[in-house]
Structure 1
Amino acid sequence: MIAGGGFGGLWAARTLANQPVDVILVDRNNYHTFLPLLYQVAAAELEPEDIAYPIRSILRKFPNVRFVLADIKRIDLGKRVLYSSDYAITYDYLILATGSTTQFFGIPGAAEYSFQLKTLEQGIALRNHILRCFEYASRKIDDAKRQQLLTFTIVGGGPTGVEFAGALAELIHGPLKKDYPSIDFDYVKVVVIEAANSVLITFPKTLRDYALDRLYRMKVNVMLETLVEKVMPQTVHLKDKNILPTETVIWTAGICADPITEGWGFSTARGGLLMVLPTLEIEGHEEIYVVGDLSSIEDTRRQLPMTAPAAVQQGIHAANNILNKLTGRPQSPFIYKDKGAMVTIGRNTAVAQIGKRSFTGFFAWILWLIVQLINLIGFRNRLMVLINWSIDYLLFERAIRLILPLRKQPQPPRNQT
């Protein structure tokens, strides 16, 4: 049984494919989302279906792997049964790969009034909201209200925050500036709030400084060493008692384990991560393996990055350890192979750390494009992403500026007067 169709779960299923085992992959969605490009959906650069691929299409060539659409509710550890609202599945071995969710660090109002970037629905909702803000700002309203509508605040200067800030700045000062000639774009502000003394704090200083300089050049206001105290429907309250009027708060400051595992009785680390042995098993429940954002490996000096490459490697390793156990071979401890990190900041601009070598500018940007296209699943998705990127690059145009209806999609309340 594999719970979760993200990077860890999907690559575990692929590893177990065509082996003498029966595999069931369970997920609440019937598609896999390529999360590294989700921010481009919110920035009107890509369609949602460009970064999603049907799980059944991925698995249909593997006769021993089947998919079940279900929302996992609980697990009976003694009977080894996984329950959804209307489904129960018995397992011999279980790989938990349910991923992560947004961490708000107990900041009042952050969960209620902030936009997140963890699901396709959230990406579409944020795109809708940004475009609506410009529609409302184009009406005859007072200057204070217009400034509030056109201030976009991103909490968190990590990779997602930096990438979205760059993409949003290009959207605003490119297509939207042509769409709304009645708006004075001096009112428009993109603000990044970061608690540390730099953006991309896990990168080398030269790359951090380069990224910060590029954001400033793109008219992004970066507020370093700044803490958020409270988020309200139309304001952000900072620790220094300043109040930032804004209709839009995008929270990218942290992630934590999917709360689905709360109450299951497992040992947890910071952020609700499940403590696992070096083999990725849970101590006392050696039939359960935990991979991806949900796992915290014991006896390591640092927590593994919550990234797609780490999840993929863990998914493959857990699957291989299960096969080793079934054939009587010894299991091996998981060793993360750091292949580097890349962040794009905008047109022709990116930073990349590969081994001990650092790259910036156009070359890093090309590397980033190639890596994303290679890792996307499906020929159609790669083709459509390449076409949309080419249109954006050559014509300075983003055709996906659509406000689409979303059913049952909560959005932060705002005064639409």
Structure 2
Amino acid sequence: MGKKRIVILGAGYGGVHSAKLLHKKFKKDDEIEVTLIDKNSYHTLLTDLHEVAGNRIEKHGVQINLEKIFGKKKVNVVTDKIDDIDFKTQKLISNTKEYEYDYLILGSGAEPAFFGVDGAEEHSFTIWSYDQAMKIKKHIYETFQNASTETDEAKRRKMLTFVVAGAGFTGVETIGEIAEWKKKLSRQFNINEKEVSLKLVEGLPKILPILEDSLIAKAEKRLNKLGVEVFTQSMIIKVTPDSVELKDGQIFNTNTLIWTAGVQGSSFAANLGLTLGKRGRIQTNEYMQSVDYRNVYVIGDNSYFEEESRPTPQIVEAALQTAETAVENIESDIKGNDLKGFKSNFHGFMVSIGSRYAVARLGNIKLSGFFAMFMKHMVNVHYLFGVGGFNVVWSYIMHQFFTIKENRSIVGGHFSYRSPNFWMVPLRLFVGFKWVTEGLNKLPDILEDPSNIFLIPPSPLAATTGASTVAEEGAQAAEWGDALPVPGFIEDIMEWFMNIFFYTDDGDFTILASVFQTGMVIAEIVVGGLLILGLFTAIASIVSVIMGIMIWTSGMAPYEMLWYLVAGIALIGGAGRTFGLDYYVMPILKKWWMKTPFARRNYFYID
């Protein structure tokens, strides 16, 4: 067969998905070489850029390093800017190098469409890259800052007027983020919030036209609640540095227009000389092949293919599904199998309006408010787990819930408030001391006779055995009458468990019971010692909670055990990094762990 070179151009949603799928299919085939080329060294979560523009999350929340994604995968990651493609010689050409291919997957993304509106491209902001989102964020902040010292009322009003053109998903999400951020900016710069004017302008009769009218109505209601004016059937015909003019004659005096009114295929892809469909998108057949070259596959926003007379939408799911079709057909072509036509299967649409509200349609289910926002997060987590596993999901959760600013998450700021770990040191030492004391008090009895069982209640069958005599002597940690109550169904489960492992048919204790008791006493001393030393504190705290639960379910736990349970949960957060050995040990272990093949291959680490 000879070695086959598969090159993917573009590390967007479709490009990254293609590379991951190709790795899975050909990771054991040395005759297949997969290369992913992008001008950036990171994958950008384009659908979350509005959160950066609205100052909800930082850049680490929308950028994933490609080496992190493909560090232990059979994918060569190349950071380079491709200037041209020679389809006849099958080469991608940059300023310094050429890349040969046998199969090419083209996924260079989209860019804003300005529809020939006078001044729109020159005098508006767009939000199709991280840099553009940061530019919007900086501009809004500086505009509020400058407006706070502007004494000319007309200039001040113009500065505090923000217009978003286009009421699709991106436009609605962007204006929603700005509407939330304006509250903080108004307080910070002592500006009356009523002076801030937010306008969402849409040329069609309604916003979010892909959704049902009931969801559109809820979205409009939420926008109005946030102080956003919605203008539908309002075509923008002219843009200047100081104004936006509508077809009906209205003029908005503003220094800020954010253009989200439409997208088209990237100009790079449109100028490659391939047959085009509409809006600069490359015409493909049902197999996602360019109609000009069988070995050139086009995915995502670059691809133009009509299903039932409707083009595939420029959304993330379409990018992923066209990538799957392209990869399946490349594999089929290599193996000499029949190609498979594209068949879309879109699961729904979701749009957030600020950080706490969303509207969504998932199949036939319509959601709004908290549950729609929750599902939006779950969909993001599902996608991110496929991209970067535990590592990226953990990062997403931290950015969205634990380091969030101004309570801007569906759970408010309840998870984001933090206290210095040094306040936990006394509690850590106290719990550690209690466990060590408990263990040392029991240790002499264990050393004297491991078969002397006092941590496990005797079997009901053992009315006349030595075991019941031991129990009556009061060697256990708590008297039976003073133990924490245990629900009946748990008692039944524990009785069944102990009858299998700890009691003989005669009601005597088994050898396993002696081993378990010895292990528990040793564990109490070890866990207590680790907590005192502040070493592996999180693990010791988790074990502390588990031991407390085990003692409680056995019916042996005194009310004092509640301290162990509650304090153990409080200490899981890492109190050992303050005046503990974890301060020195954990960075060393983390550095070692992140270099292991297992951690890198399975993304099982935290940055």
Length-normalised TM-score, structure 1: 0.91
1:13-412 aligned at under 5 Å gives the runs 13-18=19-24, 19=26, 20=29, 21-62=32-73, 64-173=74-183, 175-181=184-190, 183-298=191-306, 300-376=308-384, 377=388, 378=392, 379-389=394-404, 391-393=407-409, 394-395=412-413
SS at match of 2:310: coil
Following superposition, the deviation at residue 347 of structure 1 comes to: 4.5
| Amino acid across the alignment from 2:55 | A
Which piece of structure 1 moves more, 309-318 or 250-259? Answer: 309-318
Specify whether residues 337 and 243 from structure 1 end up closer, same or farther in structure 2 by C-alpha distance, changes over 3 A only. Answer: same
1:8 aligns with 2:19: no
Q: Which has the higher relative contact order, 1 or 2, with Cα contacts under 8 A spaced 6 or more apart?
A: 1
Following superposition, the deviation at residue 298 of structure 1 comes to: 4.5
Task: From the two aligned structures, give the one with the greater helix fraction.
Answer: 2
Specify whether residues 298 and 196 from structure 1 end up closer, same or farther in structure 2 by C-alpha distance, changes over 3 A only. Answer: closer
Specify whether residues 321 and 169 from structure 1 end up closer, same or farther in structure 2 by C-alpha distance, changes over 3 A only. Answer: same
SS at match of 1:212: helix
SS at match of 2:309: coil
Distance in 2 separating the partners of 1:380 and 1:348: 20
| Amino acid across the alignment from 2:110 | S
Moved over 6 A (4+): 396-399
Length-normalised TM-score, structure 2: 0.63
Distance in 2 separating the partners of 1:348 and 1:12: 33
Say whether the 8 Å CA contact 1:3–1:95 is kept in structure 2.
yes
Distance in 2 separating the partners of 1:160 and 1:193: 13
Say whether the 8 Å CA contact 1:275–1:298 is kept in structure 2.
no
Distance in 1 separating the partners of 2:292 and 2:408: 53
Say whether the 8 Å CA contact 2:186–2:192 is kept in structure 1.
no
Which piece of structure 1 moves more, 6-15 or 338-347? Answer: 338-347
Distance in 2 separating the partners of 1:199 and 1:298: 24
Say whether the 8 Å CA contact 2:270–2:282 is kept in structure 1.
no
| Amino acid across the alignment from 2:9 | A
Following superposition, the deviation at residue 156 of structure 1 comes to: 0.4
Following superposition, the deviation at residue 186 of structure 1 comes to: 2.1
Say whether the 8 Å CA contact 1:155–1:161 is kept in structure 2.
yes
Say whether the 8 Å CA contact 1:45–1:398 is kept in structure 2.
no
Specify whether residues 130 and 397 from structure 1 end up closer, same or farther in structure 2 by C-alpha distance, changes over 3 A only. Answer: farther
Specify whether residues 203 and 299 from structure 1 end up closer, same or farther in structure 2 by C-alpha distance, changes over 3 A only. Answer: closer
The match for 1:410 is none
Which piece of structure 1 moves more, 249-258 or 183-192? Answer: 183-192
Q: CA RMSD in A?
A: 1.8
Distance in 1 separating the partners of 2:340 and 2:198: 47
The superposition leaves residues 302-361 of structure 1 with CA deviations (integer Å, 9 ceiling, x where unpaired) of 111111111111112211110111011111001111110001113532111111221122
Say whether the 8 Å CA contact 2:401–2:416 is kept in structure 1.
no
Task: From the two aligned structures, give the one with the greater strand fraction.
Answer: 1
| Amino acid across the alignment from 2:261 | A
**Residue ranges of structure 1 left out of the alignment (5+ in a row):** 400-417
Say whether the 8 Å CA contact 1:45–1:388 is kept in structure 2.
no
Following superposition, the deviation at residue 113 of structure 1 comes to: 0.8
Say whether the 8 Å CA contact 1:392–1:398 is kept in structure 2.
no
| Amino acid across the alignment from 1:30 | S
Distance in 1 separating the partners of 2:399 and 2:222: 28
Distance in 2 separating the partners of 1:146 and 1:349: 30
Bigger CA radius of gyration: 2
Following superposition, the deviation at residue 261 of structure 1 comes to: 2.1
The superposition leaves residues 231-276 of structure 1 with CA deviations (integer Å, 9 ceiling, x where unpaired) of 1001111111221100100001100000102332211111111110
Identity of aligned residues (%): 31
Following superposition, the deviation at residue 176 of structure 1 comes to: 1.5
Say whether the 8 Å CA contact 1:231–1:237 is kept in structure 2.
yes
The superposition leaves residues 36-94 of structure 1 with CA deviations (integer Å, 9 ceiling, x where unpaired) of 111000000000121101111111111x3101111111111110011011111110000
| Amino acid across the alignment from 1:177 | S
Distance in 2 separating the partners of 1:327 and 1:369: 39
| Amino acid across the alignment from 1:6 | G
Distance in 2 separating the partners of 1:136 and 1:305: 40
**Residue ranges of structure 2 left out of the alignment (5+ in a row):** 1-6, 418-607
